[in-house]
Structure 1
């Protein structure tokens, strides 16, 4: 099993190639101002006077874990500075679409939980063989605004089951997992609802900024990228 080392020397880092793969949370749907947390991070890195960081947003709306696994390596193998090489770091974020119930609130899940677990394990194994990997979990939905697009029913109970499968799989493969679902719920109903778009599923402008701040203050991310958890205020 690949054993990633996430701490990097801040002195030694002169460049960093990062790919972010996943669903609409990576894509940034719902943030017409900043383009999502990945785009906000990319802009921050471009504006900084630090190392040469390149960040590729490979998020696709509606993707489930199976779709991300299918395009994992082929996506970045054909892109600019990453052509014919592996990235220095991969950020994954996927799973909420798999949890949706179809047609009615008690309908079947888009992806059966057992199948989801098998597909998630395959995705993590594939990613881990290529490069160090981090996983950013899903945000909680606003259940009162379901269904999404009149046919997709999301709820916290299903979200919890699918994120726990993901978290435990990441734990098994020693891939750091940021439990955004739990963090946002702990901040209270009024708070997390204020961070969501009118569709009740995607973060809004404020939500993506909050998500960026959560990532920037997440120790596995800061340890790998900067080798330190300090001096982040200029990037928030």
Structure 2
């Protein structure tokens, strides 16, 4: 077996990781909570659930324009329910080893989840808390706007164009593109690959990272 660079000729100043579906899987937990909420509000649960992933809860609720519904209050209630439902949250295969290989000052988690929920899920998955966590309340506009990735890069002291984003949703990839970052799609929770231009990998197994003279390079075992 040999290792080949996943991004030929490229190394990166820092890595920015989405959380849900990218370094850990909380889909079952989230969909249990959201299914109850959607049914309570008379929504078609099966049609609604695909819309919740990758974006902030408050924005998901607000765009429904449900009469008499306060998006902020509902988002807080959903967060509390999600924080209680963490029994089957698990890391994406190989994520712990991959994250442990990174210099602490070179990576961050950039999530659409509120900070308290993000910290709860990271702990439930047995993953290390990141040196930097950008959460829902840190930006005015969530994904697919680029604000979160721009903020993450800025707080790490690098340009977003010099970052590699790890994502699993179209909203996240749109945000990464808008920020000018490169992106790698983690497909562990996907039924099929996304139809996007970005490289895709099932998990972190078979991936490795090396420090080079110009930054961090990602390699794939072949």
Q: Given the two structures, how large is their TM-score scaled by the length of structure 1?
A: 0.31
Q: Which has the higher contact order (CA 8 A, sep 6+)?
A: 2
Q: Given the two structures, how large is their TM-score scaled by the length of structure 2?
A: 0.32
Q: Which structure shows the higher helix fraction?
A: 1
